[in-house]
Chain A
Amino acid sequence: MSTNTFSTYETAWCPGCGNFSIIDCLKTALDELNLDPHEVLMVGGIGQAAKTPQYINANAFCGLHGRSLPAAVASKIANEKLTVIVDTGDGDSYGEGGNHFIHNIRRNVNITHFVHDNQIYGLTKGQASPTSGEGFVTGVQVNGNINTPLNPMLISIAAGAGFVARAYCGNKEHLISVMKQAIEYNGYAIVDILQPCVSFNKVNTYAYYSQRVYELDDSYQPFDKVAAMQKAMEFGDRIPIGVIYQEPKPSYHQKNTVLKSGKPLIDRPDDSSIVNKFMEEFI
């Protein structure tokens, strides 16, 4: 298959799902950045959101639940010319993949991580996710969720991420702009995308978000870490969307002594003379 446009395929999503606007925005963002499908690698795990790579015309790595980040960063390490985007859900990113989430912030490989955060498990038909609110009732959390919801923005900033943003699938123009900034950021960039689940989440609906979400304007400067952490904690009656924290940081490729100069790893020839030299050290 070879084509120059980011077309999409028939999906298995519920009508009204926030995933539709997210995939539309993604296509637009990639087009506006003048990328070709063969230059882009979409990586997903398992879940409704994680099907995004299956529905967009680009290279796709649809791996295991929770494990998209390690596969994605290693693909980028192998070939830095690929634009690598992890596009998956909150359960995949923060639950099953929680350990990889924290440690890939530290690694700072130049990839983009879009999390469709609907605060629920959709594919398995409605259980609490790491971001579900306290008291949230599901078929498993029958007496309401008793766990503190995870704040992905606060964790990202605390763990040292250089690009931390929140967006809302109901504000497409804004989402496209945030996506483009995230893809262009040199390093690990996370965008937590608020998204209603029309089938299973009766709390965090379009109406819920429309009343609460507001765009950060120029009066907010995302370069102060402490102020950013305070902003990240604003998640209640008012929910800010936009770039919450940004800081230029050397990426993995700029720090790694093998990768920081020379061709992409994939384009480097084998050199048996160097192995010969290593062997001689055992004589």
Chain B
Amino acid sequence: MYNLLIGGAAGQGIETTATILRKALKKSGYHIFTVEDVMSRVRGGHNFSLIRFGSEDVLSHSNKLDGIIALNDETIELHKDELNKNGFILCDSTLSSNDPRTIKVDMNEMAKEIGNPKVSGSIAVGAVLKLFGEKIELAGDVLKDNVKDQYLEMNIKAMEKGFQAVEGRFPHLEGNVSLSLMINGNQALSLGAMASGLKFYAAYPMSPSTSIMEYLASKSDEAGIVVEQAEDEIAAINMAIGASFAGVRSMTGTSGGGFSLMVEALGLAGMAEIPLVVVDVQRPGPATGFPTRTEQSDLKFVVSASQGEFPRMVIALRNHTDAFYQTARALNLAEKYQIPVIILSDQYLSDSHSTVEPYDLKKAAAIYAVKPEEKGEYLRYKYTEDGISPRLIPGKTNNIVAIDSDEHDERGWITESSEVRIKMMDKRMRKLEKLKLELQEPEFFGDEAFKTLLVGWGSTEGPIKEAVESLNRMGKGKFAALVFGDIYPLPQKLLREKLALAERLINVEQNATGQLADLIREQTGISCDSNILKYDGRQISGEEITERILKEVQR
């Protein structure tokens, strides 16, 4: 497995170079995982992309580098300590690096000769392919898809120049993936929503959720989805509720700040029993926090957001496969139980690209609720055994449909009756009993004879998996982990079963207070023995978890 960093200032073309490289490497049949580390600015600063690739499954990023493409001196200064001994720093001859691992190429000069300074990125692509023992032909088609026709010839020439300018460095790896998608979390989530019949999406732009709206908008005409940019997040969620009430599958998405504005309406969906999916792509808070960075600090907020009590479900996305299937499932569950379902993603998952098996659309298809029979007086909030009342769509039958954010009777009419209040509250809460029967247990992996059990949730799955594998390989003890996807209501069966076997329980979370540990303690009375927490906005890596377990826990 190799790991490459491309770094420079915003506006220097890091993203384009990284995109072409990862697409070219995909053609070699590798497993690939890329992350973007971007500052919240359009020009300047320090940004980088990481591309990790190889013949084994790549689950997350790593900070141990085999190569650096440096577009400025700062990149070298900041990252040279992460570079392996036999790694390389590829940069333009004008940079000042005197690190012995530096390979200087006259990229800027060559680009000028070719006729456009912007083709220096393609020179770097050519050089990197050579350094990793790849064939240059890989990138030809990729350039065709990513470069405008009039610049194509120049870029191909530039790539060839770069290829010739360096010697091979690393042995070529054998790619073994014949068919895969390379997709980021927000795109995967959007595809899952469309596969499950999404017809309406309303949102207000907020990093790192905006690319959901952008991707859906780019497909809206073809897919027949209305994508509406709302005037604020309050409008966005109320629109999604209105469209859902009127009978189309609807979703809204935001990050923690926008979710804060949506909170009252989340309760409306709960009270009025209108299916709704809300995506919270988490970033570090509070307030504006780190707009372009990652954190898992909204868990306790979303499980309790909004005044009063109502049934809800929270699903954390662990990876790019989850992002697709769980979003489709969220829309189906919201419809089945007539509840709000919150999807927790984060910046790490939303912006990172991963190679995944092509999705099975059949497994993500919409499951629509059976249309209720129309007999006698229609009662929108009829008391039923499982708490799920017959839901008609306004205008689609001769019945009238009334919903109310006030407490209401079976007809949907406002009431202050104590008896009705209790019956209606119980009816709503009863839906959870049935929902709990179809919760998905957390994923378990590691040594079956484990002594130490790690628990985590969401996008730290990949790093936790790598850490467990590496700790077990090192023989420093026997480790296993449970990583939650469905997280509220908290599935407890496997947790209790595995915990009975563990000598030590450690929560690994991307937040400062250990929110999953709190939730587990609240729901089960079980406390974690130690924790590995990170809250600097940068995703924890498998290596970091391993090191910290050895240093802080396994002393």
Contacts and interface: CB of A to CB of B under 8 A. Distances in A.
Given A1-B378, A62-B402, A275-B223, 9 more contacts: A38-B395, A59-B395, A59-B401, A60-B400, A63-B268, A70-B235, A257-B221, A278-B219, A279-B361
Given A62-B414, A279-B359, A283-B358, A82 B395 contact: yes
B245 interface: yes
Nearest to A99: B231
A282 B187 contact: yes
Contacts of A78: 199-200, 242-244, 246-248, 250
A54 interface: yes
A270 B365 contact: yes
Contacts of A262: 224
Interface in B223-238: 223-226, 228, 230-232, 234-236, 238
A275 B194 contact: yes
Interface in B197-215: 197, 199-200, 202
A84 to B, nearest CB: 9
Interface of B: 179-183, 187, 191, 194-195, 197, 199-200, 202, 219-226, 228, 230-232, 234-236, 238-248, 250, 264-265, 268, 272, 358-359, 361-362, 365-366, 377-378, 393-406, 411-414
Interface centre among A37, A78, A258, A272 (most CB of B within 10 A): A78
A272 B192 CA distance: 11
B254 to A, nearest CB: 14
Contacts of A271: 223-224
B332 to A, nearest CB: 12
Interface in A92-119: 99-100, 102-103
Interface string A236-266: 0000000000000000000011110010011
Contacts of A62: 402-406, 414
Contacts of A70: 202, 230, 234-236, 238-239, 242
A41 B234 contact: no
A276 interface: yes
Contacts of A41: 246, 394-395
Contacts of A268: 199, 224
A74 B243 contact: yes
A67 interface: yes
B200 A67 contact: no
Chain A CB within 10 Å — which of B194, B219, B239, B393 has the most? B239
Contact of A71 (B226, B241, B362): B241
A64 B221 contact: no
Contact of B200 (A37, A61, A77): A77
A69 B366 CA distance: 29
28 contacts: A1-B400, A2-B398, A43-B242, A46-B405, A51-B414, A54-B413, A58-B400, A60-B404, A63-B272, A63-B405, A70-B234, A70-B238, A70-B242, A75-B245, A78-B199, A78-B247, A99-B235, A102-B231, A103-B230, A265-B224, A266-B246, A270-B365, A272-B361, A274-B194, A275-B361, A278-B191, A282-B182, A283-B180
A204 interface: no
A81 B398 contact: no
A19 to B, nearest CB: 15
A282 B191 CA distance: 11
Interface of A: 1-3, 9, 36-39, 41, 43, 46, 51, 53-54, 57-64, 67, 69-79, 81-82, 99-100, 102-103, 256-259, 262, 265-266, 268, 270-272, 274-276, 278-279, 282-283
Contacts of B240: 74
B243 A274 contact: no
B358 A2 contact: no
Contacts of B219: 278
Nearest to B190: A278
A258 B400 contact: no
A20 to B, nearest CB: 18
B194 A278 contact: yes
A9 B223 CA distance: 43
A75 B29 CA distance: 47
B554 to A, nearest CB: 40
Contacts of B361: 272, 275-276, 279
Of B187, B235, B362, B365, which is in contact with the most chain A CB atoms at under 10 Å from its CB?
Answer: B235
Contacts of B180: 283
Nearest to B249: A270
Contacts of B226: 77, 256, 258-259, 265
A102 B412 CA distance: 30
Given A99-B231, A100-B231, A82 B223 contact: no
Given A71-B245, A72-B242, A265-B226, A283 B181 contact: yes
A274 B243 CA distance: 22
Nearest to A54: B414
A73 B400 contact: no
Nearest to B397: A38
Nearest to B353: A282
- 9 A-B pairs with the lowest CB-CB distances in the bound complex, closest first: A71-B242, A74-B242, A78-B246, A59-B394, A103-B231, A74-B239, A70-B238, A75-B246, A282-B181
A73 B378 CA distance: 25
Most buried by A among B180, B195, B221, B378: B195
Nearest to B359: A279
A6 B157 CA distance: 75
Contacts of A272: 195, 361-362, 365
A270 B197 contact: yes
Nearest to B234: A67
B245 A61 contact: yes
Contacts of A100: 231, 234-235
A54 B199 contact: no
Nearest to A67: B238
B230 A79 contact: no
Contacts of B413: 9, 54
B413 to A, nearest CB: 7
A71 B276 CA distance: 13
B491 to A, nearest CB: 29
Contacts of B231: 99-100, 102-103
Given A59-B395, A59-B400, A63-B238, A265 B200 contact: yes
Contacts of B187: 282
A39 B202 contact: no
B246 A1 contact: no
B200 A279 contact: no
A63 B200 CA distance: 19
A105 B405 CA distance: 25
A268 B425 CA distance: 35
B265 A64 contact: yes
Contacts of A9: 413
